[in-house]
Structure 1
């Protein structure tokens, strides 16, 4: 049996639209076992009642990309998924499925793919690396596409920093939330985001959390997605008042993430309560950044 652990992720962190992502210590587990014939897929935890258990399953489709690449065809395969990452909330559940399937298949058939090759294969399925890169690499990842290849770097995060995540009880489609975005933006808004993204990376690298309130502002995507999430602005404001250093939409949503080094429990309760006041049931999670990305835990 091959077992792979993949972290949750939060992308953008406000201004870093499609170029920043951070791995979080909340993990999905993907297990592959060879069997004599057929395909058996078991799903436990998040998405157990909704994720497909046939060849359309995203983990299997990712694995098949690897199998096809190297000309391998397993006689039979059992896939077991233990999911802790909420589905469709902007915490990288689909990225975890793709990365988990690719790494497990790479081990199963001894394909020998390196991280750059696995990243390229995963991006060909997801379309962009916002959650893929931190899920594979861990930590806070800054990435760019250069002539079709992803160039990245990682930075170490300040000790004691936590992500407080408010997770509403409704899902959002990344495709739908991207359709809400404008095709063009003003030079003023572009400069606004460049300055905030640069400030955010520098602040996290230096451990200067005092500027995160400004550094996590955004004008490229959050203003256009805010109307899709009841109570969005109120939750942001409440988290800041409770002591969050900076607050942003997690990926395309619906979850909202606050970065904090103190009062995490209070921030979690306030965000959840503020969602409830807007008629939305929500849960809250307090997660540390994950310094490591996806990895095979054991091969039996």
Structure 2
């Protein structure tokens, strides 16, 4: 059996922990239960960047704990087309694919929404995992056990600059402040609301004028000299917009001239994926 799990970009600047967007770039995951021992292997451009398969096993254990079903031995081969630890949802893709595999293997028959709830509980941030399930632009809400989202279909292409260094998502979360100023909070509220209003009105080009952030990006950027240099070079090109994808280090921007940007590894021009998780028998 084969599934295709899309890359995602989250936050979109001002929409911290709320906005998530699925992209037209997929990890392909082939799996079979015709085995007596779990075996995982990877191919594809970014496979050499993988350090372990611990997250797959963590998801399987979480699924077993929450459902009471035992995940049987499984053979998994994934084609890694999503850059690893780059803010484009490589970890979310593993979580989504592992939950789907566990659901099939155990015959638990959980609904997609139930799988999303498990993914949100495990990952902690709905904007990271929900778009990978449903596609499009997702506006997420989570407060304790209350989880909700709305989805918008978009026809838009975005450019991502992927550097040759990676950042640990958990480390990037730890550097965020416990408190922010009232002024900065209002600034982000205004931008995120205006962004969403433009999306709802079909004014996609105008929406990206409102991605500037004051809540999280500067704290993450300033943690690493390489990240500061990378962002400084992008900003020097005078883009009409830019934002850190997820917790970084990739940058989404409309910069056309990338010459001279240090550490640059890949330039990915990706359309919005409105399909989400794709399942093939």
Matching residue of 1:246 = 241
> 1:89: Cα distance to partner?
0.5
The 10-residue stretch of structure 1 (196-205 or 15-24) with the greater mean CA deviation from structure 2: 196-205
**Which residue pairs with 1:15 in the alignment?**
14
- Summarize the Cα distance change of 1:35–1:48 in structure 2 as closer, same or farther, 3 Å threshold: farther
Distance 1:233 1:8 in 2: 25
Residue matched to 1:144: 141
Q: Write the deviation string for residues 6-33 of structure 1: whole angstroms up to 9, x where unpaired.
A: 0000000000000100000000112221
Q: CA–CA distance in 2 between the matches of 1:197 and 1:187?
A: 15
* Structure 2 counterpart of 1:263: none
Contact 1:43 1:51 in 2 (8 A): no
2:261 partner SS: helix
Aligned positions, number? 275
* Pair 213,100 (structure 1): closer, same or farther in 2 beyond 3 Å: closer
**CA distance in structure 2 between the aligned counterparts of 1:49 and 1:165, rounded to whole angstroms:** 18
Cα distance in structure 2, aligned partners of 1:248 and 1:274 = 19
Residues in 2 aligned to 1:97 and 1:78: alpha-carbon distance in whole angstroms: 15
User: Hey, what does 2:50 align to over in structure 1?
Assistant: 50
Deviation at 1:295, TM superposition (A): 2.7
Aligned residue number for residue 194 of structure 2 = 199
2-structure distance, mates of 1:176, 1:87 = 15
Is the 1:171–1:254 contact (alpha carbons within 8 Å) kept by the matching residues of 2? yes
Q: Does residue 1:88 correspond to 2:85, yes or no? A: yes
C-alpha separation in 2, matches of 1:163 and 1:44? 26
**Contact 1:4–1:104 (8 Å) recurs in 2:** no
Contact in 2 for aligned 1:236/1:248 (Cα 8 Å): no
Distance 2:238 2:51 in 1: 32
**Residue 62 (structure 1) aligned with residue 48 (structure 2):** no
Query: With structure 1 as the length reference, what TM-score do the two structures score?
Result: 0.85
Map 1:51-130 → 2, pairs under 5 A: 51-53=51-53, 56=54, 58-68=55-65, 69-74=67-72, 76-130=73-127
Q: Any idea what the Cα deviations from partners look like across 1:33-69, whole Å, max 9, x if unmatched?
A: 113411211111213353325xx2x224323433452
Match of 1:289 in 2: 272
In the TM superposition, what is the alpha-carbon distance from 1:162 to its structure 2 partner?
0.7
The whole-number CA distance in structure 1 between the counterparts of 2:82 and 2:162 is 11
Partner of 1:41: 40
For residues 149 and 30 of structure 1, do their structure 2 counterparts lie closer, same or farther at Cα, with a shift above 3 Å needed? farther
Indicate whether 1:275 and 2:273 are aligned.
Answer: no
Q: Hey, what does 2:150 align to over in structure 1?
A: 153
Which residue of the partner structure matches residue 159 of structure 2? 164
8 Å Cα contact 1:203/1:211 also seen in 2: yes
Q: Compute the TM-score of the two structures, normalised by the length of structure 2.
A: 0.91
